[in-house]
Amino acid sequence: MPEKVGMMVARWLPVAVALSLTLVLVIVRSGWWQGVLIVVLGTAVAWLAPRAAEGRHAAREFRRVTTDLRRQRLAAEEARALAEERRDGAEEARELAEAARDRAEADRAEADAAREAADERALIGPEMHDLVSNAIGVMVVLAEGGPAAVESRPQAAERAFDTIAGTGRRTLAELGDMLSVLRRDIEPGQRAVPGLADLPELVRIMRAAGMALTMVAPEDVRLGRSEGLAVYRVVQEALTNALNHAPGQPVEVRLEVADARLVATVSNPVPSRRGPEPVAGHGIRGMRERAESVRGELSAAEDDGRWRVRLTVPVEKPAKPAPAGKNRRADKNGKGAGRKR
C-alpha cells in the first residue's frame, strides 16, 4: 500500500504543478485572483507535501523490508546448506564406524578361526597316539593268533587277516588327514573325524580281535564335532587298554544321557594276573586332557573288582528314550545300532 501511494504522488504531482501555473497566469492577468491563487497554492502544497514525503518513506520502507527478506532467505539457504553438510558428515561418520565394526568383526572371526586351527593342530599328537596305539594293538593281537588258526580255523584266520588289512588301511587314511592338517593342505575343521556313529565299527574290530564286548547306547544323541571325537577316542583308548592289560576279560561299553550330559563308561573285570603296565600312564592322562578340552570330566579307577573308565561330556540335545524292550544284545555281526550290541 505505501508503494502505491508513492507511485500516485509521482504520477499526479506534475499535473498539480501545471494546473497551479495555469491558475497563476490567469489570476495575474485578472488581478483580483491573487488572493485566491495564494490560498489554492498553499492548500495544494500543504496537501501534496506530506503525501510526497509519505510516499518516499513508504518506498524506503518497502526497500528495507525486501532487503531484510532477501537477507533472511540467504541466511535460511546457508543454514540449510550447513545442515545438509553436517548430515552428510554424520552419514559418512556412521558409514566409517560401520566399516570399522565390520573389519573388527572380520578380524575377530579370523582370530577365532586361527585359534581353533591352532588348538586342533595341537591335538594332532594325542590323536596320532590314540589312533596308532589302537591300530597296532589290534593288529598285533590278530597277527599273533592268526597263524595258529590258519589250519584249525581257516575262516577265523581269514577274518583276522581281513581285519588287520582293514585296520591298517583305515589308520593310514586317518594319518594322511592329520598330516594334511599339519601341512595346511586342508583346514582343521574340514578333516573327517570319527564320532558316535563310528562306535559300532570300533566294536566290530575289537570283537574281531577276540574281545568279548557288549555296548549299550541310546538311539538319539547329538554331540558336537569335538565332543563326538572325544567320546570315540576315549572309548577306543579304554578298549585298547582292556585288550592289552585284561586279555580275555568281558568288556562293557555303556552310554547314557542324564541332565543334558552324555556319560560313557567302559568297564571290565580286573584280572587276577594283569598284563603289562601302561607306559608312563600316557593313555589315562591323554584321555583326561581330551575330556577337559570339551568341558568334560574323566575318571579311571578300580571299583568293586572292575576297572572303570567314565567320561562325561555335554550334549546338544537330550537323548530320546528307547521304548521298552528295545535294548538287546547284538548278533555276531555287530548289528543293532542304538541298542545293546
Statement to judge: residues 212 and 258 lie in one domain: yes
Residue recorded with cell 591298517: 168
Statement to judge: residues 274 and 158 lie in one domain: no
Task: Print the domain residue range for 180.
Answer: 119-192
> Is residue 101 assigned to a domain?
no
Residue recorded with cell 577306543: 236
In whole angstroms, give the CA distance from residue 175 to residue 139.
16
Statement to judge: residues 176 and 156 lie in one domain: yes
Statement to judge: residues 35 and 139 lie in one domain: no
* 76 dihedral zone (left: phi>0; alpha: psi -120 to 50; beta): alpha
In whole angstroms, give the CA distance from residue 269 to residue 213.
12
> Is residue 94 assigned to a domain?
no
Q: What's the number of domains the chain is made of? A: 3
pLDDT tens string for the chain (341 positions)? Answer: 555 555 555 555 555 555 555 655 555 555 555 555 555 565 665 566 666 666 666 677 777 778 878 888 888 888 888 888 888 888 888 888 888 888 888 888 888 777 776 766 666 777 777 777 778 878 887 777 767 666 777 777 777 788 888 888 888 887 777 777 666 666 656 667 889 999 999 999 899 888 999 999 988 888 888 899 999 999 999 998 898 888 889 999 999 998 889 999 999 998 876 555 544 456 788 889 889 989 999 999 998 899 999 999 998 754 455 444 444 344 444 444 444 55
Statement to judge: residues 18 and 148 lie in one domain: no
> Is residue 164 assigned to a domain?
yes
Find residue 301's DSSP bridge partners: 308
Cβ contacts of 92 within 8 Å, gap of 6 or more: none
Statement to judge: residues 48 and 170 lie in one domain: no
Are 332 and 323 spatial neighbours (Cβ–Cβ below 8 Å)?
Answer: no
In whole angstroms, give the CA distance from residue 21 to residue 49.
17
Query: The pTM is what?
Result: 0.57
Q: DSSP for 99-113, please give it.
A: HHHHHHHHHHHHHHH
Are 251 and 328 spatial neighbours (Cβ–Cβ below 8 Å)?
Answer: no
In whole angstroms, give the CA distance from residue 4 to residue 128.
106
> Is residue 111 assigned to a domain?
no
Statement to judge: residues 222 and 175 lie in one domain: no
> Helix, strand, coil: what percent of the chain each, to 5?
65, 10, 25
For residue 263 the three cell numbers come to 556319560
3-class secondary structure, 301: strand
> Is residue 19 assigned to a domain?
yes
Q: What is the pLDDT at residue 226?
A: 87
Q: What is the pLDDT at residue 214?
A: 95
Q: What is the distance, to the nearest Å, from the Cα of residue 87 to the centroid of all Cα atoms in its chain?
A: 33
For residue 49 the three cell numbers come to 507535501
Q: What is the pLDDT at residue 49?
A: 60
Are 129 and 282 spatial neighbours (Cβ–Cβ below 8 Å)?
Answer: yes
> Is residue 109 assigned to a domain?
no
Statement to judge: residues 180 and 303 lie in one domain: no
In whole angstroms, give the CA distance from residue 190 to residue 181.
9
In whole angstroms, give the CA distance from residue 216 to residue 15.
126
In whole angstroms, give the CA distance from residue 259 to residue 262.
8
Number of CB atoms found within 10 A of residue 207's CB: 19
Statement to judge: residues 220 and 312 lie in one domain: yes
Statement to judge: residues 185 and 225 lie in one domain: no
> Is residue 90 assigned to a domain?
no
> Is residue 183 assigned to a domain?
yes
What's the chain's Rg over C-alpha atoms? 52
For residue 62 the three cell numbers come to 518497502
